[in-house]
Structures are given as structure tokens and as C-alpha cells.
Structure 1
Amino acid sequence: VEMSTAQSVLPLEIAYRILDFLHDSPHALWACSLVHSTWRPHAQRLLFATVLLRDRRA
């Protein structure tokens, strides 16, 4: 059964809430950022919210 585009649209607010639940899963967020261009900014914001810098000497 084929769905029309209008039937398969997920409201952005719901998509963003789903992405928020994936905040500790970088691989899942990365995959979601590729799903739809409107998801990308929110997924990337979550992906890069914390930057870890390491000392090369350690």
C-alpha cells in the first residue's frame, strides 16, 4: 500500500522530540540527520552540543 506525501508527514515538533530522546546516541542522531533536511539542524545541534577536547600527551 502506497501512502501519499500528505499522509506520511510527521509534524516537526514530534520529530524534534524523538531526536531529543536520542541525545545520547550519536550514531542514531547522525542517521536521522540524513533522513530529512528539516531534521538536520536539530540533530546536529544535539550531536555537537558537547565538544570533548583531549590532551595529545595524555
Structure 2
Amino acid sequence: MLVGFEKLHRYAEKRRTQTEIEIQAFKEQIAQELIKTDPKKIHDPKISVVGPALEASKY
């Protein structure tokens, strides 16, 4: 193994782990907000919103 790459590997692994933790916390935060939302206020989005969002998600 090349000198220095094990430090780089440890750093990358640490960042991956931290990112996973942050994503999980974000999911939990969103779930808590959805629980607070009145079910009558939840509806399907308009196609004028969904279309451009899906198109932009390609990039």
C-alpha cells in the first residue's frame, strides 16, 4: 500500500459514515414534520410543479 493512502482511506470512510448519519437525521426530521401535518392538507402536487422538477432531476 502506498504511504499516505491509508490516511486518505480513513478520512473517506469517516466522511461516508458522517454523511450516512446526516442523511438518517434528515429523514427523521422530515418524518417528524410530516407527522405534524394535517392529513387534509396533503395532496398530490400539480403537474406544472412535478414536470419541471422531474426534468431537472435528470441533471
Q: What is the TM-score normalised by the length of structure 2? A: 0.25
Higher-helix-fraction structure? 2
**More contact order relative to length (CA 8 Å, sep ≥ 6):** 1
